[in-house]
Amino acid sequence: MKTTSPIETGGLVAAFLAGVWRSCTPSLDWPNVDLQTIAPLLLQTGAGPLAWWRVRESDLQTSATATELRQAYRLNALNHQIHQGKVDKIFAAVRAAGIEPILIKGWSAARCYPAPGLRPYGDLDICVRRKDFERATKIVDNLNGLKYQIDLHSGFAKFGIRAEEDLYARSLLIRDGETDVRILGPEDHLRVVCFHLMREGAWRALWLVDVAAALESARRVSIGTIVSAKDCNRGR
């Protein structure tokens, strides 16, 4: 593995991740030594699955480093499937109390990528109206006791948005398995990922890729996946 300065390493990471959020990634003609140089950083910061997506059809796909990246992708794809079942149960439990949640950040960001498992996430970030937060907290506490890993937010002020009813009016319902999951509208999702990137100091390249993926996915929102953008008064 060659030694590079932080600026050189950053340049390699930027060049490697360019366009990686797309179904058809740009062609890759890289020396294996450069991949070896940045692979540890990509794996440590959650971009390992995306790195595999980048090299999967290149001459590097059979390298030892690519094998490690592929394993990261497989593990994350498995975690994604586990989270899907949790999302169904979380929404059912919260809605049973007359509260309408919105799922944001990691899970929603992952939807902007071309394949499940490319964008890792840990906690499931759920926002509810401020007036519903206390009741929702009791429900979430019970679910977290079952290791559901829910991060509950009161309104959206933490993400730079205060007009929550306007946000609900712009939100979307999408079908996920047997559940209609409410997510932010594309412009609001873009605002949240940008706000999160800057608030956290932009230290993960993955967050910048989230912004690029959100920008491009906003242009191709499929009307066929939208259940309703109007039925947002549940729990009011």
Give which of 134, 115, 114, 124 is closest to 183, Cα–Cα.
124
What confidence score (pLDDT) does residue 1 get? Answer: 60
Query: Per residue in 106-137, pLDDT tens?
Result: 999 999 999 989 999 988 999 999 999 999 99
Say what the alpha-carbon torsion angle 88, 194, 129, 169 is, to the nearest 10 degrees.
-90
Quote the CA–CA distance of 100 and 95 in Å, as a whole number.
6
Phi, psi for 226 (deg, rounded to 5): -90, 120
Quote the CA–CA distance of 127 and 102 in Å, as a whole number.
5
Phi, psi for 27 (deg, rounded to 5): -60, 150
Please give the model's pTM, rounded to 2 decimal places: 0.86
Please report, in tens digits, the pLDDT of each residue of the chain (236 residues total).
Answer: 667 888 999 999 999 999 999 988 888 888 999 999 999 999 999 999 999 999 999 999 999 999 999 999 999 999 988 888 889 899 999 999 999 999 999 999 999 999 989 999 988 999 999 999 999 999 999 998 778 889 999 999 888 888 899 999 999 999 887 889 999 999 999 999 999 999 999 999 999 999 999 999 877 654 344 444 444 444 44
What confidence score (pLDDT) does residue 147 get? Answer: 81
What confidence score (pLDDT) does residue 114 get? Answer: 92
Query: Which residue type occupies 83?
Result: H
